[in-house]
Amino acid sequence: MSAHPSSTTTRDETLGAAPSATVTTPAADTPIPLRGHLRHTGALIRRNLLWIRQDPESMFDAVLMPIVFTLLFVYVFGGSIGQALGGGQDEYVQYVVPGLLAMMGMNMAMGVGTGFNQDFNSGVMDRFRSLPIGRGSVLFAKIAVELLRMLVAVAILLVVGVLVGFDITNWGGLLAAVALAAAFGSSLMWVFLTLGVILKNAQSVQGMGFLVLMPLQFGSSVFAPPQSMPGWLQAFTDYNPLSTLADAARGLMVGGPVARDLWVTLGWTVLITAVMAPIAIRKFKTKS
C-alpha cells in the first residue's frame, strides 16, 4: 500500500506561504482561542490540499485500492463464498461491498501516520512547531484531509461495486454506513498519528500498520462469514471492531440487524479516540 507522500521543506515553503501567513498569531505562549484554532486548521487543510494538487500520485492508493480489492475478491472468491452464502457471485457482491466500505477507513488511516512521519523527517513539522499555532490544529488538519481522501476511495468503491452488481436500495442507510466508517476510521488515525510521532521512519510506521491491520481485516467478517472459521477465530471476530463495523454497514446498506453492531462500533470509536487523541497531541508537543 502506498504511503501518503508529504512535502519536502523546499516545496512546502512554496505551497505553504499563504497558509503560514494566515496562521501567524500573537506570541507563542499566548492562549489561542477556539476561533484561532479553527483558522489555523483551515489554513493547514488548504496547505495539505495544495500539496495533493501538486502531487496527484499521492492519491493513487485512494483511487486504486478500492478498484483492486473489489475486483480481486468478487472475481476470485465470489463464486465459492457466494455459494456458501446460499447464492453465487451476485450474493457475494452484496456481502463484500459493505465490508470493503468498512475496510476503507482502516486502510486509509495508515496513510496519515506515514505522511506525518515524513513531515517530521523532512523538517516541515519543525517549521510548524516554530509558529505560534495550535498544536492540535496540525493533527486535526491531517485527519480532515485524510477523511477527504477516504471519501474519494469510498465513492470509487461504490461505483465499482455497482458495476459488478451491487444494488443500492437504501440511500439513507448508505450515507449512515459511510458516516460510521468515517467516524471509526478517524479514531484509528489517532493511533497512526501517534505511531508517526514515536517511530523513526515511514517504513516503520507502514510495517507496524500492516501488523495491526492484517489480523483485524482477515480475522473479521469483512470478506467471509465467520461461521466457517475455527472456534478460536470466531471468538476473535466477535471482539473485532472491524467485524461489528462491517456487519453494521451491511445491515444499513442491504438490510439486517443493525442496533448491536452500530452501538458497539460507536463505543469502540469513542474509546479509541478518547485514549489515543490526547496521547497523539502530547507526543507531538514533546517530540524533540
pLDDT reported for residue 132: 66
Rounded CA separation 210/217 (Å):
10
pLDDT reported for residue 129: 67
Rounded CA separation 51/174 (Å):
31
pTM above 0.75, yes or no: yes
pLDDT reported for residue 38: 80
Rounded CA separation 65/199 (Å):
25
pLDDT digits (tens, 9 = 90+) for 171-196: 999 999 999 999 999 999 999 989 88
CA distances from 285 to 51, 72, 99, 164 (A): 24, 42, 36, 47
Place of cell 506515514: 114
Rounded CA separation 82/128 (Å):
51
Rounded CA separation 105/186 (Å):
7
Rounded CA separation 16/49 (Å):
11
Task: Please report, in tens digits, the pLDDT of each residue of the chain (288 residues total).
Answer: 444 444 333 434 434 444 443 444 444 445 676 676 788 788 888 888 888 888 888 788 889 999 999 999 999 888 888 877 877 888 899 999 999 998 887 888 887 888 778 877 777 776 776 666 766 788 888 899 999 999 999 999 999 999 999 999 889 999 999 999 999 999 999 999 898 888 888 888 888 888 888 888 888 989 988 888 888 888 889 889 999 999 999 999 998 889 999 999 999 999 999 999 999 888 887 875
pLDDT reported for residue 210: 84
Helix pair angle (171-198, 202-218), 10° resolution: 140
- Is the CB of residue 116 less than 8 Å from the CB of residue 197? yes
Q: How many helices (H) and strands (E) does the chain have?
A: 13, 0
Closest of 49, 273, 83, 239 to residue 152, by C-alpha: 49
Going from N- to C-terminal start, the domains of the chain cover 9-19+32-286
Kindly report the length of the chain.
Answer: 288
